[in-house]
Every structure is written in structure tokens, then in C-alpha cells.
Amino acid sequence: MRRIILYLFYIALAPAMAHAQGDTLTWRQRVCHGLDSLTALPLFETTQLGLYVYDLTEGCDLYQRNHRQRMRPASCEKVVTAITALHHLGGRYELKTSMLLAGEVRDRVLWGDVCIVGSMDPLLSQGDVGQMAQLLHESGVDSVAGVVRLDLTMKTQDQLGWGWCWDDDVVPLTPLTVDRRDRFVQAFMNGLSAAGVRGVTVDRFVQSTVPQNAQPLCEARHSIEQVLERMMKRSDNFFAESLFYQLGRLSGKRYAGRKECVTFVDVLLRHIGLNPANYQIADGSGLSLYNYVTPEMLVRLLAYAWKNEQIRQCLLPSLPIAGVDGTLEKRMRKTPAEGRVMAKTGTVEGISSLSGYAMSAEGHVLCFSIINQGVQKASQGRDWQDKVCALLCAP
């Protein structure tokens, strides 16, 4: 179903991929006049708006309103994380949770340690852990004489992001989770028991780096595309933070923190001609109160992603489609925007945002970012954004 939807979207975009035809000036005037009317509504007497629409087909701005104002993006921060990760890691990147053995096996006893290297893989499941335990047994091990070393050095020990609230409902930011829960030890013990490997109890688990003599046994792997789909379609914060810390891992520094992750965002911003000093990246998900971006920044990243085929091919399938799936499934139905907008939503207290792509009836491919700040109800922002998208896509 996902491939069919994406295929149909590409078919619809085909004329725009070449060049828009017809009276572009009249269309531009009509859209801009409509946006002027929408931005004059009473809603903006008490709230703030950041709006930027860029015409990818023509290669020029279509509409701007406070597009360089620093605002909190909410989950549109995930657009920054996704595009930065695809730029630096590539579409073939895999998250790998590794198991190694330090010691030797004699008489079906591992005279040494089992080592697990966490990668903060949000898709690591009980099934994956059970399979790793089974492979340990199949390698000739019925019992472990040593300990189970858990290598958690890929990120800092902080379990909350910078600027997160104490009452945020989040998964602890640890490199080893199972089914999005901080329960790896119990899950691995269950897997070992089911596989017939004895002698491993709770007190045999220690946090430790991997000894130099350890030999790889197996890996549990998940692709960046799998992570992106849930991160963007369902706006999963833990998935976004996982991808954010994959960037920090590129630094090669043990216990990499937010600053190491942000370094790679800054590199991309400079690459597309923006000054990183104008923004503040606090986390990968948009949950933090300390994130500050601009609609211009989000649109420039989206434009870069569209023009880069490898990034575009991975990013587009992950974005919610208006009236079809993800966090846009129930929005823009029976409007011109249905099936013609692919965008990331964002909602935190007082903020509603939407950033992505739209296809006009004139065959223009647009990228846009809308941030409504200071709204009493998120629905106020969502309803207004839906009107904007309907206007951009209207015949």
C-alpha cells in the first residue's frame, strides 16, 4: 500500500518534475492573494505566525511571512533530524546491536564474557534478543562462566533530553532498549533461558566496554528507512532521538552528547548556506523547550532534500500524506490537498506546525513550513494550516 501511494504521488508530480506550464503569474497572484487573506484573520491578533512557501518548480520564493523569526518547531524538528541523518549517514545506514564473546568455549561452557554493544536501536525487539541468545547456544554455549558486559558508551548517560520537562511521557534515552522499554537485562535473560543457556542471573550484568580480545558473534540490524517511517509517520520521539544520536556516534567520541550531534546539523546548515549561530538545536525530536528554528531553515532543508535524489527517495515515503496515513490521516480529507500534501506535523503546548511538500493543481511542486506559536488549542493551528494547504493545491 505504501509503495502504491508513493507511486501515485510521483505520477501526479511528473509534469512538475519537468516544468510547470500555463499562466504562472496568474496562479501566483491568486495564491498570494489567498494567503494574504488567511494571514489577516483575527487569530493572528493574539498569536504568532511563521510561514514560508517556496516553489521548487520555478526555483523561487512564493510567499513569506515572518519566515526568519525564531520559533519552536515542535515535531517539525524531526525534519531537521531526518534530512541531516540522510545527508551524513546515507539511505543504506543500519542500526546494529552487536554481540561478541570474550573468552573461549570448552565443554559447552563460555569461559569468559558475553558482550553486548548498544546502538540505541528503537526497533530492537524481544524477538531480536531471543534470536541473539539462540545463536549463542548454537555456537556451542550451554552456560556462561563470566559476566554479560553491556557497552552503553555510544551516548551520554542522560536519560532525558536537554530542555525536556519532568512530566514528559518519554522512553529513557539509553542505548539498549527492547520494544521501546528499558528492559534489556530481563529480555536477554528470558532469551537465554528459552535457548537453553544457563548460569546468567541479574547480578551477572555489568556496564563495561568491550575487551580487545572479544570476537563478533552476531548482530541485530534495522535500516534507517525502517526508523524513519515510524519517526515521521507516527511522530515517535524515541525513534527521532535514536537517529539524532547516530549522528553523535559519527564523532567517534565515547559518551557522545547533544553537542556532538548538533555538530553534524551545523555542517549541513553551512552546506546549504545558512549560519548555524542563528538557530538552536536542543534535541532530535522537537520535544525540548529549547529548540529554536525558522520556517526559512526548514524550507531550505526540504528544498535541499528534494533536489538530492538519494535523500528524496528515503524521505518521501516516510512523510505523512494528507487524508491518507500517519498523523495527517484524518486531515484535509475532501479538500484539494488530500493526497497532494506530504508533510511532518508538530504539536507541543502552545505550538502547532506543519512542514513538507505540496503539489499545486498547476503542476508546481512546493515546499513549505508553517509554525503557529502561542495558540491556545493545537486545533487552531491545524485548521489554519489545512486551509493554507488547500489553497496551495486548489485548481
Same domain, 235 and 379: yes
Cα atoms in the 13 Å half-sphere on the side-chain side of 152? 18
**With pLDDT > 70 as the criterion, what percentage of the chain qualifies?**
94
C-alpha cell at 73: 518547531
Same domain, 236 and 217: no
Supply φ then ψ for residue 372, to 5 degrees. -100, 120
Q: How far apart are CA 225 and CA 242, in angstroms?
A: 13
Q: What is the pLDDT of residues 30-83, one digit of tens each?
A: 999 999 999 999 999 999 999 999 999 999 999 999 999 999 999 999 999 999
Where does a domain end: 223, 257, 274? 223
As a whole number, mean pLDDT of residues 304-312 equals 98
pTM confidence score:
0.92
Decide: 370 and 388 in contact? Cβ < 8 Å: yes
As a whole number, mean pLDDT of residues 265-282 equals 98
As a whole number, mean pLDDT of residues 273-301 equals 98
C-alpha cell at 128: 531480536
C-alpha cell at 177: 532498549
Where does a domain end: 189, 223, 257? 223
Decide: 363 and 54 in contact? Cβ < 8 Å: no
For residue 2, what pLDDT band results from cuts at 50, 70 and 90? Answer: low
As a whole number, mean pLDDT of residues 306-334 equals 98
Q: Which residue has the cell 518547531?
A: 73
Q: Which of 122, 99, 117, 93 is nearest to 254 (CA)?
A: 117
Q: What is the pLDDT of residues 344-392, one digit of tens each?
A: 999 999 999 999 999 999 999 999 999 999 999 999 999 999 999 999 9
Where does a domain end: 194, 223, 252? 223
Same domain, 127 and 57: no
Helix, strand, coil percentages (3-state) for the chain, rounded to 5, are: 40, 25, 35
Burial of 349 (0-12, 13-18, 19+ CB in 10 A): exposed
pLDDT given for residue 171 in this prediction: 87
Domain count of the fold of the chain: 2
**What is the CATH classification number for the domain harbouring 249?**
3.40.710.10
As a whole number, mean pLDDT of residues 244-254 equals 96
Same domain, 12 and 30: yes
As a whole number, mean pLDDT of residues 109-114 equals 97
Q: What element of type H or E holds 95?
A: strand 94-106
pLDDT given for residue 20 in this prediction: 42
pLDDT given for residue 18 in this prediction: 40
Same domain, 78 and 106: no
Same domain, 289 and 174: no
Same domain, 244 and 365: yes
Phi-psi region of 117 (alpha: psi -120 to 50; beta: other; left: phi over 0): beta
Same domain, 160 and 54: no
Same domain, 235 and 168: no
pLDDT higher at 3 or 166: 166
For the chain, what is the mean pLDDT?
Answer: 94
- Please say if the pLDDT value at position 137 is more than 90: yes
**What is the CATH classification number for the domain harbouring 183?**
3.50.80.20
Same domain, 317 and 388: yes
pLDDT given for residue 168 in this prediction: 76
Q: What is the pLDDT of residues 3-45, one digit of tens each?
A: 545 544 544 554 444 444 444 468 999 999 999 999 999 999 9
**With pLDDT > 90 as the criterion, what percentage of the chain qualifies?**
90
Which stretches of 308-371 are DSSP H helices? 309-315
Q: What is the pLDDT of residues 208-239, one digit of tens each?
A: 999 999 999 999 999 999 999 999 999 999 99
Amino acid identity for residue 35 in this structure? L
- Please say if the pLDDT value at position 330 is more than 90: yes
Beta strand 94-106 with 215-223 is antiparallel
- Please say if the pLDDT value at position 166 is more than 80: no
For residue 1, what pLDDT band results from cuts at 50, 70 and 90? Answer: low
Range of the domain at 140: 94-223
- Cβ neighbours of 285 (radius 10 Å): 27
- Cβ neighbours of 309 (radius 10 Å): 9
Same domain, 219 and 106: yes
- Please say if the pLDDT value at position 192 is more than 90: yes
Q: How far apart are CA 348 and CA 284, in angstroms?
A: 14
pLDDT higher at 362 or 299: 299
Beta strand 205-207 with 148-151 is parallel
Same domain, 123 and 218: yes
* 3-state SS, residue 166: coil
